[in-house]
Structure 1
């Protein structure tokens, strides 16, 4: 390759990335070369010289969007898809539901829809190729003796349809807890055959129950104030312990990958929510919490590790605090998945409701 060809190729890639960032914000539907060129510091003549035509530029942008999609699918494939279709679906949905991917997914949906009515233009074949990409990854997650059967094809096609439909709903409604609950309900159907025999390929962290507990509370305060209370040490010590308990944080590192240790002490074990001995000792619960996702002011995702000699109380539970703007302030939805089976559901939800009530009082009084 000559130096001029190398320079042209590098400039083409640079402009493609700039154009891609632009269409993520503005979409492709009304894209015009002149405004695009001005926005990325180029000219229509340069874009036409490097890409050949507007249609070719659109094709390059769609290919760039597909590159992000296939990168995700390749990461899922590397994450040991032999663990099963349910686990693979869970990994894919985790990526789809991440607010940081909304722009590329909106562009993907636009390309998908446009390709359905454009059999010859730059959009042609986009939808068909993405379907093939997804089905290939799902097929790799199925047992070989099921993969090549009509039932296996129907199973992975249904999973694709559920994920695609939930994605469209999520992009329109921004209701992550509801759409995640729907996807999870379908993934559960992939975990065990009709005869009830155990299968490999369950969802991450599943124990004997694979249980999800969820509680919602409206707080009369803006999302930013509620989010701040989720990430402030003194605030957490004040509002997180449920009725009948006190709390002390021993370690504190509020960033993704960091976390904290909360020591919860029963004031009266016989009368506290979930009456009975603490999961760590007769009077205390020790919970190690790791921050796995922080999306201000929308979502906090944590993993809680319970220490106990009793395996029914030990385990790792994922906790998601989702904050949605409402007419009176913020709707806070707390979702716990993979709840240890020894934790009684009613007592657990009562404790969560108690903590949310304390959160509401704490934030509202501080205004």
Structure 2
């Protein structure tokens, strides 16, 4: 009789996988060294996650910012700006910082290896745009306009985050983020 996967162990292992990928990168991800570093076996990684691609997809899902929660209940452009500023703080100084580092890796790898990383990259972008676009639609923007403005926020803040990682010029990048957020609803 097959054993049922322990959800608690699976969740703990998934958190460890996210930590490992954040430290070691995604490009050269190999299950055997990962398993050894995490104190488990390749067989257990496959048991809990199926295959390498599914493990990566689940790690990205687990590390994705919860934008639906950040933008829930927004009923005005001022509240939208406040939510977007909260998002920026979380991306640059809070708990979401490491998650965006993983996303940046996947997006970069998708450019040169779309067969392996393209679907994960596409999903990662869409799930960030969708809740922001939905909020903007509720604020009265047309569907296409709301998606364009959500793309400006998501892609713009992601690019600024990458700039801050490279240059460490926090004040300049924070000022640019404030301008971008204001422009999204201006």
TM interval, shorter chain, is 0.7 to 0.9
Q: Which residue of 1 aligns with 2:150?
A: 156
Distance 2:34 2:107 in 1: 22
Distance 1:147 1:88 in 2: 17
Residue 149 of structure 1, CA deviation: 5.1
Query: Helix, strand or coil for the counterpart of 1:82?
Result: coil
Query: What TM-score does the superposition give when structure 2 sets the normalisation length?
Result: 0.80
Residue 145 of structure 1, CA deviation: 7.2
**1:107-146 map, 5 Å:** 107-121=102-116, 123-142=117-136, 144=138, 146=140
**1:23-42 map, 5 Å:** 23-42=21-40
**1:229-268 map, 5 Å:** none
Describe the superposition over 1:321-349 as per-residue Cα deviations: whole angstroms up to 9, x where unpaired.
xxxxxxxxxxxxxxxxxxxxxxxxxxxxx
Q: Which residue of 1 aligns with 2:75?
A: 82
Distance 1:36 1:179 in 2: 34
**1:206-225 map, 5 Å:** none
Q: Which residue of 2 aligns with 1:98?
A: 93
Distance 1:81 1:148 in 2: 17
Residue 10 of structure 1, CA deviation: 4.1
Q: Which residue of 2 aligns with 1:176?
A: 170
CA distance 1:175–1:57, change in 2 (3 Å): same
- Between Structure 1 and Structure 2, the one with more helix by share is 2
Query: Helix, strand or coil for the counterpart of 1:30?
Result: coil
8 Å CA contact 2:137–2:143 kept in 1: the answer is no
- Structure 2 alignment gaps of length 5 or more: none
Aligned equivalent of 1:60, options 42, 58, 61: 58
- Structure 1 alignment gaps of length 5 or more: 193-367
- Between Structure 1 and Structure 2, the one with more strand by share is 1
Residue 177 of structure 1, CA deviation: 1.2
8 Å CA contact 2:164–2:173 kept in 1: the answer is yes
Describe the superposition over 1:265-303 as per-residue Cα deviations: whole angstroms up to 9, x where unpaired.
xxxxxxxxxxxxxxxxxxxxxxxxxxxxxxxxxxxxxxx
Distance 1:162 1:87 in 2: 16
Distance 1:145 1:22 in 2: 40
Residue 77 of structure 1, CA deviation: 1.9
8 Å CA contact 1:135–1:156 kept in 2: the answer is yes
8 Å CA contact 2:76–2:139 kept in 1: the answer is no
Number of aligned pairs? 184
Describe the superposition over 1:229-269 as per-residue Cα deviations: whole angstroms up to 9, x where unpaired.
xxxxxxxxxxxxxxxxxxxxxxxxxxxxxxxxxxxxxxxxx
Q: Which has the higher contact order (CA 8 A, sep 6+)?
A: 2
Distance 1:49 1:6 in 2: 8
Query: What TM-score does the superposition give when structure 1 sets the normalisation length?
Result: 0.44
RMSD: 2.7
Distance 1:191 1:176 in 2: 23
